[in-house]
Amino acid sequence: MNLIHGRGRVVVGLGLAAFVAFSIGCMNLTFGGRHEIASPKEAEVAAEGLQRGKSYAPYAQEVTVYYPVPYASPPNLEFEDDAKRQFIVMEQRPDCFKIKNTQVGAEFTWKARGSLTASAKTPNTSGAIQATLAPAQEP
């Protein structure tokens, strides 16, 4: 007994294709690591020890963000916008911080302020911020 005839097969096929295309489009597929590059304003880094940046964190991934200029000790790290509720700080060091995203993939903005190392008079000119993704571990 054939339940779907002629046009019904076409409609079901198109509906299934649309569903698959929509589902794949909604996924956030990431292959390999991701690096973010930004340069802080030299005046802000030299005068206040303030560094800012933007990065991206996929869902349920850990992201390590390296400061352009390392601090003498872990700085005061702040997130802007909704990132305060979305990310968990897993580790904070003088040269980087590691976060875990608990919600959908999102770009986030951070700000760090602290005492820079004695040798850090100006920012690194080679590319300031690097963010590296690490696979999330299941709880």
Predicted confidence (pLDDT) per residue in 74-133, tens digit: 999 998 876 677 888 999 999 999 999 888 888 888 999 998 887 655 544 444 445 555
Global pTM exceeds 0.85: no
Please state, in angstroms and rounded to a whole number, the distance separating the CA atoms of residues 62 and 33.
Answer: 11
Please state, in angstroms and rounded to a whole number, the distance separating the CA atoms of residues 23 and 19.
Answer: 6
Q: What is the pLDDT of residue 9?
A: 78
- The full set of domains in the chain, from first to last, is 42-134 (2.60.40)
Q: How many CB atoms sit inside 10 A of residue 123's CB?
A: 21
Helices (H), the chain: 7-26, 42-48, 83-86
More confident residue, 57 or 42: 57
Question: Which candidate, 71, 73, 66, places its Cα nearest to that of 49?
Answer: 71
Please state, in angstroms and rounded to a whole number, the distance separating the CA atoms of residues 26 and 56.
Answer: 17
User: Residues 24-40: what's their mean pLDDT?
Assistant: 51
